[in-house]
Amino acid sequence: MKKALVGSTALVAAGLLSGGAFAQAGNPINIEVHGNFRVQAGYVNQDDGVGEPGANRRNFGFGQDSQIQFRGQTKLDNGVTVGVQIELEGESGFSATSSVPGTAGTGEVDIVDEAYMWIENPAVWGRIELGNRDAAGNKMFIRQPFVLASRIVGVPTMQGVATPPAAALGTGIGQLAGSPLLVPAAGDANKITYYTPRFLNNALQLGISYTPDNTENNGRFGVGFAKTDTSAGAGQQGDILNLGFNYTTKFGNADVRIAGSYDKGSQESTDTDTTDRTQWAIGAQVSFMGWTIGGAYMKDDAFFNNATIPGESDDVHWVVGVTYQTGPWLMGVEYYKRTVDSLTAAGVRNGEDEVTEWGLSVRRTMGGGFTLGGGIRFYDWEDNVSAAANENQATEILIETTLTF
């Protein structure tokens, strides 16, 4: 697969250099600034007994999420467009950890989220991306429609309720992964991605990504980008291949969109009993007369393999959503469920842990990139052995404002 990807990249590179001098464009790249700032106020009612995630927590609070994007591009004389984008996380200065066991902190792990460049001629040979960005199957994916740009499964930025501890994963459902569709094996690690032009009457597009190592920001000064191919830790995967497709069409007055993604990684852990990791997902939406109905399904194999819990532990996510838009108003309902195989210390499956979420929300576009919305959401965690720390129920009521620029 790697040889095939290198070969296809070489063909595209030949196309880049044809049709005129490569650097004869008259206009330099001018960097534009884009981004968003989102604030939530919320009230939370959550099980708060001794040892439960809601213990000793306030019932209300504020959350925020912001991002600044620096973006620029220019078109060369041979018709090729080159560009760059760098995304700065506004909350990266805060603590990324929390003093409350089992809960996330208020900060971002990354100061810069994604940083990449692209080279494209979409109508002729397609697009190449180089750098820190999600894989092709993730960027092309179709999820359920949603109203608020945070939980349940929009952009996974804020959540009012406290989840069970992440340490429970593998023996309990543990911490919910935010927007789980997709949770690509490569994340934003350094990669090369190629997208084909759209074909079949502009309906179908294919994408492929290759990631040597699932560590972000390789190649900085003093840190070689040719990383070692074996290391301790259950999550070490390399030579990650991602395939994706996106198909759009119309049936009468209905717009139909379908997408799929497949990830395959090779285990590079020196821990015993670890295996390769695979993920696949499928999603679709249908829109007509203001209504949008859609959903997605993802299955992740061998996610929780490690030396202490051998064997495979499947992680399955599925979600559905329905929205209706009339003028500046958008309203909808979402339902999400996740199940994880629970394993004994000997790697024997002894049941499933699960979490379900559903919610109602509404949003109004006020103009000038400003929106105002709110909603109510319900959460339910169930542990296969009914451990108090891993079982919980919660309700959150949210008001959300977003400014996009």
Among the ranges given (309-313, 347-351, 361-365), the one the predictor scored with the smallest mean pLDDT: 309-313
Is 309 part of any domain? yes
Confidence of residue 219 (pLDDT cuts 50, 70, 90): low
Is 27 part of any domain? no
Q: Is the pLDDT of residue 16 over 70?
A: no
CB 118 within 8 A of CB 224: no
Is 78 part of any domain? yes
Is 366 part of any domain? yes
For residue range 136-169, list pLDDT tens digits in order.
Answer: 998 898 888 888 865 444 444 566 777 776 433 3
- DSSP 3-state of 287: strand
Q: Is the pTM of this model over 0.85?
A: no
For residue range 277-286, list pLDDT tens digits in order.
Answer: 788 899 999 9
Is 50 part of any domain? yes
- The number of folded domains in the chain is 1
- Find the mean pLDDT for residues 214-242: 65
Is 26 part of any domain? no
What percent of the chain has a predicted confidence (pLDDT) above 70?
68
346 by Cβ neighbours in 10 Å (0-12 / 13-18 / 19+) ranks as: exposed
The CATH number of the domain where 13 resides is what? 2.40.160.10
Q: Is the pLDDT of residue 124 over 50?
A: yes
Is 211 part of any domain? yes
Contacts of 307 (CB under 8 A, 6+ apart): 234, 271, 272, 273, 274
For residue range 69-109, list pLDDT tens digits in order.
Answer: 999 999 998 889 999 999 988 876 544 444 343 334 444 55
Residue numbers of the domain that contains 133: 2-19+32-225+234-404
Is 24 part of any domain? no
pLDDT reported for residue 278: 83
- CA dist 301 and 340 (Å) reads 10
pLDDT reported for residue 34: 93
Closest-CA residue to 211 (of 133, 108, 296, 328): 133
